[in-house]
Amino acid sequence: MTMADRERDFENRFIHDQELKFRIRARRNKLIGLWAAEKLGKTGPDANAYAQEIVRVDFEKPGDDDVFDHLMADLGEMGITEKEIRAQMEELLKEAEKQVMSE
């Protein structure tokens, strides 16, 4: 195996890992969106639309702050705390990873 082959393998592995992380985060955002939709009393198509909105919100800025801020704005008035939202995001990240890895 030449150095160029190793570099190409490394680049391909990096790309694969980044795509996997993206899919896991997108799945987590959908799951947290469905969780929040339930808290907001949304069901069926309305719940799915809200979950898709949360997925799109994640593209606004790097990291989880955009998703968290959106959820906090929607759920904070209902008495759901920052700690609860962050804990749910953490738990659903693990669930999303399990789901994506089993596909």
pTM score, two decimals? Answer: 0.89
pLDDT in tens, 12-66: 899 999 999 999 999 999 999 999 999 999 999 999 999 999 999 998 877 889 9
Kindly list the domain boundaries of the chain, sorted by start residue. Answer: 3-101
Please tell me which residue, 9 or 33, carries the higher pLDDT value.
33
Q: Which of 45, 41, 46, 67 is nearest to 56 (CA)?
A: 67
Q: Which CATH superfamily is domain 3-101 in?
A: Domain of unknown function DUF1476 (1.10.790.20)
| pLDDT, position 42 | 97
